A and B are shown apart, each in its own frame.
Chain A
Amino acid sequence: MQPYLPVYNPNNLGGFMGPQNSFDASDPVNPVERAFLVENINNTTRILGTAYLKVTIAPWLKFTSTYGLDYSNVAIENYTPIHNDGGTSIAATASIQNQRLLTNTQLFTQQLTFEKSFEGHNLGATFVYETQGQNVRNETASGTQSTNVVRTLNGANNVTANSIYETNFIRSMVGRITYDFNERYLLAASLRRDGLSVFAPGNKFENFPAVSAGWRIDRENFMKDVNSISELKLRGGYGITGINGVLLGNYPYLQPIQRNQSTYPFNGTVINGNGSFYNGLSNPNLAWEKTKQANIGLDMGFLENRLTFVAEYFQRKTDNLILTVPTPTSFGFGGAGTLANVAGMENKGFEFQASYRKTRGDFTWNVTGLLSVIRNQVVRLNNENASITAGGDADFGGGGPLTNTVAGKPVQSFYGYVVEGIFQSEAEVTAHAKQSGAAAGDLKFKDLDGNGVINDDDRTFIGSFLPKFSYSLNYGANYKNFDFTVFFQGVQGNKIFNAARIIREGMPRLFNADVAVLNAWTPSNTNTDMPRAVNGDPNQNVRPSTRWIEDGSYLRFKNVMIGYNAPESWTKQTGVLGISRLRLYVSAQNLFTVTKYSGLDPEIGSKMVR
């Protein structure tokens, strides 16, 4: 909203002031009005409970039965009164929306555990049978009132109601056997069979085997005399895991008819829902996504485990990754994709951890450093040369995709043009590859394919959101009743697409521009990386390009805490107050961040879904 407009206007119904002038200022909204005029009350009642029974059938055989319940009742009430801010936000009737969301999850687990040791051989076995069912009922009702006095749907106009009921069900059987000899040689194997309702009929069940082995080298006889090494363990494993398919929705393989969900007012009369359609494809082959994971690790301890090192290498490979395969817009689904097991993806990496603990004396402390290096690569997509583009938004870069996923590159890598600089003269424009709409002061994009034309073939991969490595350092200390911790964390080598800068610096509209645009290129201000200010952006300087890509590396002082625990001798004397523990502490988060990223916070997620 234009900064010179007042927030409030007592003469307007509702008391707020909206954007007045239709001249490019009517798109913004009064954010204070948005926040305070609309009431949103959310009441949640949740019951969590577990009941279990343990039966020791024999000293080496135990049975456990568990029942778990998670019940929640969410009631949401939305109310927007009759108001008129003199601008875009005008409501002649008050609107009321009620929603009730009932979720009920029940878990049954039956577990039989076997444990037996004889002459250094330790054998264990576990069998689990588990079912988990969830049902969700969602009821909504809405309507309008011609008065601000009545705030419920009693006597309301235009009342509409809807209810939805969905369920999902998981059934698992797990068998697991562990064996070790003198805790020196360790072996474990398990087999899991899961059935999940959300996958297509015929594909609901899947088996997930896993094996692992460990060798405590320090327990070998030949290591007995090496006192400095307190622990030395070599371990490795291989297994197959699935994902929580419920995240895909309860019926993701099914494409339903949108029955009476669209409307056309024949004869010019208001009708609610006289059209039916569908908007995508069913996938009768949707099945479990399976990830094969192998890892090998070395645990080392020195000086009675005061100094420890852990090193691990892992490789995770998914052969039938579930992806939303974008359909061509010519399919007529508005670009809505289809969920399918089409892709292959690989993650591999190292993790190192080193820590030292000082445990003796009044002053104890420990320090732990962690370094992890992960490399991601898409191995395969639905077909050869396939690409999955995403993130296009007309307001953020003109609508071109921000990311692209292809085989051989990290998933969802940023995608766009490469900026070579700013055209300083018409002669430079003419000398460069043909770039439609370009003039002096516009960005010069690189002709990557060298065909003399700047077009969509000149887009390339311009960085990944995935860091080259990430690290952290944790230090904790205790002195008598005082304790102290600090935590540093950082990532290195990731890129951020700073989309907010497109609004602030792209000069697309007459509002929300940053002062940085004052440095725009002009014939007399040529030493700048800010392109010229021009109506309509004929060169599309805002297009997704390296212009908006920033280094996302950061080192952050994440947390510091100083605490004091009152001595037990003191808490014991609190008598009727019955204080058993008293702790005073101060802590601070995100004290400082070292980064080159120009946005608000380099620890950023994906683009907001609008």
Chain B
Amino acid sequence: MKLSKQTIRTMWVIAVLPIFYSCNDKALNTINENVVSTTDYFKTSDELLAGTNSIYATVRNISLVSREWFFLHDLRSDDAAAGGSQLEVPRFQILSGNTDPTNSVMNSVWNGLYTVIHRANTVIQNGPNVTDNTAVRDRVVAEAKFLRAWAYFELVTFWGAVPLYTSPVKTPADYQARADVNAVYTLIVEDLRQAATTLPNKSATDKGRATNGAANALLGRVLMQRNDYAGAKEALLKVTTSGAYTLTDRYLDNFEEETEFNAESIFEVVYVDKGDNDFNWGGNDTPNSAQSTIRNQEYNPVAWRNLIPSDKLLNEFENTATGAAKTDPRYSFSFYQTGDRYNNDADVLTDADQNGNSSTVNGVRKKVSVRKFMILYKEGKAKASYHPGGNNQRIIRYAEVLINLAECEAELGNLTAAVNYLNQVRARKSVAMPAYPTSQYPTSTKAQVIKAVMHEKMVEHSFECIRSIDILRWRPKGYFTQEPFAYFRSQRDELLPLPIAELDNNPLVSGKQNPGY
């Protein structure tokens, strides 16, 4: 068939016309069919639970408990010294008092804590809209409040007056100025009180979730920091009277993988070893990323050995060589030194295994390294050198509650009660140190009991990220005969500088740096 030009023309126009009409505005309203938008989520208890789980995931991440958080605490305490020149620059700068607002370790912790707060605020804000399972809803909102309180307490400890966000940010201009320190503490205490009344007991939850015991123990910590010893005592007594917790006979159970979630553990951050050497270095949230902690690499005597115990810490332990009735067994539970056995007692640690600096313990030069949370106890050198592992980081354990009660009683003038609490800790089966008073630690005055409390806390809880908080409480009271930081400058080194990214991007914080920086 031969078509005329005119016919072809007509046919073409007919063919084209539908294209004009089919392409109306609807084609432009593309839908992202891969995701759910923020307005369509957190409507059910399952979704709210997922929201709370993501807060824990941030706590667990590299910016916080699996790396930078324990570094920041240890570097801001007198527990730690540099393992050697392998300690990275920003870490050494904190340790030597040269922190500046660009410090990457400090910035990571700040970012991580505020991510916890954003995610917690999201759950807390959306909670009232969820009605399908109020029991789960109330529990996960209470967990979010516990974690928000933990994050704000960390922030106020390191930086003082920080921006206070109590609901998720809605627009790019929802800036918050630095809140008064009292306002930050008010929110922390409020959150913890609510969490304590709502959260279940330890046995009733998934292992790793916050409990009322965890909320009360943390509340005790927080109120002590506010000098509210009566309030702290009240909260801490709820932990001891609950009957849910006891000291483990074996001190090392608190730092080993097989004895996670033991009777002494009140709150711990959970890690899993997938049998490889992977660690989530990027810190991105991905469903199947590594869930290990790098602590076993950072401090391990045969691996990087970035931080080691300070001489001050090592010499704090009671020793027969310096006149004590008994050498404190917690010394060898807390540290590895040359000649110690590891790898299920199959290997002996040598000087050559331990890179870097030596320590002086009671006048003797030797190589000493951190033992707590290392999994070297069951691994050979070759594996331990590169194996992050899945040992849970214990955040709060029962021994701390007892020592904190001792401090509260001492501050409230009940010296006998205080000494009794301390002696419970010393009577642990594997420790069995002579009860106070001892010749080195008499307990007839408040000052003497406080000295015993400070000693007991340091040797019981070294490298557990508690000392840095204690220093802030004890320094203004004049309890230290010698300032813990050699570099300390008053009106500066009490706090860290606010991160540069916050100063640069939050106009309400810009120009309001902490003093001295």
Q: Which chain A residues have a beta carbon within 8 Å of chain B's beta carbons?
A: 21-24, 26, 53, 55, 57, 63, 65, 87-88, 90-93, 108, 110, 129, 131, 133, 158, 160, 164-169, 171, 195-198, 201, 204, 250-251, 254-270, 272-278, 281-282, 325-335, 338, 340, 382-383, 385-387, 389, 392, 394, 397-401, 404, 436-437, 455-456, 508-510, 535-540, 542-543
Q: Among B85, B95, B102, B165, which residue has the most Cβ atoms of chain A within 10 A?
A: B102
Bound Cα distance A455, B172 (Å): 28
B173 beta carbon closer than 8 Å to chain A: yes
Interface string of B475-517 (1 = CB under 8 A from A): 0000000000000000000000001111111110110010001
A256-B36, A399-B90 are known; give 10 further A-B pairs, CB within 8 A.
A22-B303, A92-B276, A167-B30, A168-B30, A255-B38, A262-B286, A401-B501, A535-B92, A537-B89, A542-B89
12 example contacts (A-B, Cβ-Cβ < 8 A) are as follows A90-B386, A168-B30, A264-B208, A273-B287, A329-B502, A334-B115, A340-B172, A385-B507, A389-B505, A398-B100, A456-B503, A508-B88
Question: Are A264 and B30 in contact (CB-based, < 8 A)?
Answer: no
Chain A residues with CB below 8 A from B82, complex form:
536
**Given A110-B19, A263-B287, A536-B96, does the pair A256, B38 have CB atoms closer than 8 Å?**
yes
Q: Determine which of B9, B89, B289, B501 lies in contact with A329 in the assembled complex, contact meaning CB atoms within 8 Å.
A: B501
B23 beta carbon closer than 8 Å to chain A: yes
Question: Are B90 and A398 in contact (CB-based, < 8 A)?
Answer: yes
Query: B282's closest neighbor in chain A, by CB?
Result: A610
Chain A residues with CB below 8 A from B162, complex form:
330
Q: Among B82, B116, B386, which residue has the most Cβ atoms of chain A within 10 A?
A: B386
Distance in Å: Cβ of A90 to nearest Cβ of chain B: 5
B127 beta carbon closer than 8 Å to chain A: no
Question: Are A270 and B291 in contact (CB-based, < 8 A)?
Answer: yes
Interface string of B46-58 (1 = CB under 8 A from A): 0100111111111
Q: Among B97, B274, B285, B392, which residue has the most Cβ atoms of chain A within 10 A?
A: B285
Q: Among A21, A166, A276, A382, which residue has the most Cβ atoms of chain B within 10 A?
A: A276
The 5 closest A-B pairs by CB, nearest first: A332-B118, A273-B287, A536-B92, A275-B54, A256-B35
**Given A282-B37, A326-B505, does the pair A276, B51 have CB atoms closer than 8 Å?**
yes
Chain B residues with CB below 8 A from A334, complex form:
111, 115
B98 beta carbon closer than 8 Å to chain A: yes
Q: Which chain B residues have a beta carbon within 8 Å of chain A's beta carbons?
A: 8-9, 12, 16, 19-20, 23, 25, 27-30, 32-38, 40-41, 47, 50-58, 60, 82, 84-90, 92-93, 95-98, 100-104, 107, 110-111, 114-119, 121-122, 162-163, 165, 169-176, 206-209, 260-261, 270-272, 274-277, 285-289, 291, 302-305, 355-356, 385-386, 390, 392, 499-507, 509-510, 513, 517
Question: Are A392 and B501 in contact (CB-based, < 8 A)?
Answer: yes
Q: Determine which of B208, B286, B503 lies in contact with A266 in the assembled complex, contact meaning CB atoms within 8 Å.
A: B208
Bound Cα distance A437, B8 (Å): 85
Q: Among A24, A251, A265, which residue has the most Cβ atoms of chain B within 10 A?
A: A265
Chain A residues with CB below 8 A from B41, complex form:
257, 259, 276, 278
Query: A397's closest neighbor in chain B, by CB?
Result: B102
Bound Cα distance A270, B111 (Å): 26
Query: B112's closest neighbor in chain A, by CB?
Result: A334
Question: Are B85 and A510 in contact (CB-based, < 8 A)?
Answer: yes
Question: Are A24 and B86 in contact (CB-based, < 8 A)?
Answer: yes
Chain B residues with CB below 8 A from A256, complex form:
32, 34-38
Bound Cα distance A22, B509 (Å): 41
Bound Cα distance A605, B98 (Å): 33
Bound Cα distance A260, B51 (Å): 9
Distance in Å: Cβ of A116 to nearest Cβ of chain B: 20
**Given A267-B206, A276-B50, does the pair A55, B38 have CB atoms closer than 8 Å?**
no
Q: Determine which of A272, A399, A437 lies in contact with B102 in the assembled complex, contact meaning CB atoms within 8 Å.
A: A399
Query: A282's closest neighbor in chain B, by CB?
Result: B38
Bound Cα distance A167, B208 (Å): 42
Question: Are A263 and B92 in contact (CB-based, < 8 A)?
Answer: no
Question: Are B93 and A540 in contact (CB-based, < 8 A)?
Answer: yes
Chain A residues with CB below 8 A from B271, complex form:
265, 268
Query: A389's closest neighbor in chain B, by CB?
Result: B504
Chain A residues with CB below 8 A from B175, complex form:
328
Query: B178's closest neighbor in chain A, by CB?
Result: A330
Bound Cα distance A259, B96 (Å): 42
Question: Are B89 and A398 in contact (CB-based, < 8 A)?
Answer: yes
Query: A537's closest neighbor in chain B, by CB?
Result: B89
Q: Among A88, A383, A399, which residue has the most Cβ atoms of chain B within 10 A?
A: A399
Q: Among B12, B88, B206, which residue has the most Cβ atoms of chain A within 10 A?
A: B88
Question: Are A262 and B285 in contact (CB-based, < 8 A)?
Answer: yes
**Given A268-B270, A399-B90, A543-B102, does the pair A87, B386 have CB atoms closer than 8 Å?**
yes
Q: Determine which of B12, B101, B208 lies in contact with A456 in the assembled complex, contact meaning CB atoms within 8 Å.
A: B101
Question: Are A277 and B51 in contact (CB-based, < 8 A)?
Answer: yes
Distance in Å: Cβ of A256 to nearest Cβ of chain B: 3
Distance in Å: Cβ of B422 to nearest Cβ of chain A: 32
Q: Determine which of B16, B115, B504 lies in contact with A110 in the assembled complex, contact meaning CB atoms within 8 Å.
A: B16
Dominant secondary structure at the B interface: loop
Bound Cα distance A281, B169 (Å): 8
Chain B residues with CB below 8 A from A325, complex form:
172
Bound Cα distance A577, B294 (Å): 68
Distance in Å: Cβ of B191 to nearest Cβ of chain A: 16
**Given A261-B286, A333-B118, A540-B100, does the pair A278, B38 have CB atoms closer than 8 Å?**
yes
Question: Are A263 and B12 in contact (CB-based, < 8 A)?
Answer: no
Question: Are A265 and B96 in contact (CB-based, < 8 A)?
Answer: no
Q: Determine which of B102, B121, B277 lies in contact with A88 in the assembled complex, contact meaning CB atoms within 8 Å.
A: B277
Question: Are B288 and A272 in contact (CB-based, < 8 A)?
Answer: yes
Question: Are B32 and A254 in contact (CB-based, < 8 A)?
Answer: yes
Question: Are B288 and A332 in contact (CB-based, < 8 A)?
Answer: no
Question: Are B60 and A264 in contact (CB-based, < 8 A)?
Answer: yes
**Given A166-B32, A256-B35, A268-B260, does the pair A400, B102 have CB atoms closer than 8 Å?**
yes
**Given A165-B33, A274-B53, does the pair A65, B16 have CB atoms closer than 8 Å?**
yes
Question: Are A328 and B303 in contact (CB-based, < 8 A)?
Answer: no
Distance in Å: Cβ of B82 to nearest Cβ of chain A: 8
Chain A residues with CB below 8 A from B169, complex form:
281, 327, 331-332
Question: Are A262 and B207 in contact (CB-based, < 8 A)?
Answer: no
Question: Are A204 and B28 in contact (CB-based, < 8 A)?
Answer: yes
Distance in Å: Cβ of B351 to nearest Cβ of chain A: 13
Query: B105's closest neighbor in chain A, by CB?
Result: A394
Query: B390's closest neighbor in chain A, by CB?
Result: A268
Chain B residues with CB below 8 A from A65, complex form:
12, 16
Q: Among B28, B86, B93, B169, which residue has the most Cβ atoms of chain A within 10 A?
A: B28
**Given A270-B291, A335-B501, A537-B89, does the pair A265, B507 have CB atoms closer than 8 Å?**
no
Question: Are A257 and B207 in contact (CB-based, < 8 A)?
Answer: no
Q: Determine which of A22, A264, A268, A510 lies in contact with B385 in the assembled complex, contact meaning CB atoms within 8 Å.
A: A22
Question: Are A171 and B208 in contact (CB-based, < 8 A)?
Answer: no
Chain A residues with CB below 8 A from B60, complex form:
264
Chain B residues with CB below 8 A from A278, complex form:
38, 41, 122
Bound Cα distance A537, B103 (Å): 12
Q: Determine which of B25, B33, B285 lies in contact with A258 in the assembled complex, contact meaning CB atoms within 8 Å.
A: B285
Bound Cα distance A251, B56 (Å): 29
Query: A384's closest neighbor in chain B, by CB?
Result: B507
Question: Are B90 and A394 in contact (CB-based, < 8 A)?
Answer: yes
**Given A160-B288, A256-B36, A328-B175, does the pair A276, B47 have CB atoms closer than 8 Å?**
yes
Query: B257's closest neighbor in chain A, by CB?
Result: A268
Q: Among B163, B172, B303, which residue has the most Cβ atoms of chain A within 10 A?
A: B172
Q: Determine which of B23, B54, B104, B509 lies in contact with A399 in the assembled complex, contact meaning CB atoms within 8 Å.
A: B104
Distance in Å: Cβ of A308 to nearest Cβ of chain B: 43
Distance in Å: Cβ of B203 to nearest Cβ of chain A: 13
Question: Are B502 and A169 in contact (CB-based, < 8 A)?
Answer: no
Chain B residues with CB below 8 A from A261, complex form:
285-287
Question: Are B27 and A129 in contact (CB-based, < 8 A)?
Answer: no
Distance in Å: Cβ of B298 to nearest Cβ of chain A: 11
Q: Determine which of A251, A335, A394, A542 lies in contact with B111 in the assembled complex, contact meaning CB atoms within 8 Å.
A: A335
Question: Are B107 and A399 in contact (CB-based, < 8 A)?
Answer: yes
Q: Among B16, B25, B96, B169, which residue has the most Cβ atoms of chain A within 10 A?
A: B169
Bound Cα distance A537, B50 (Å): 43
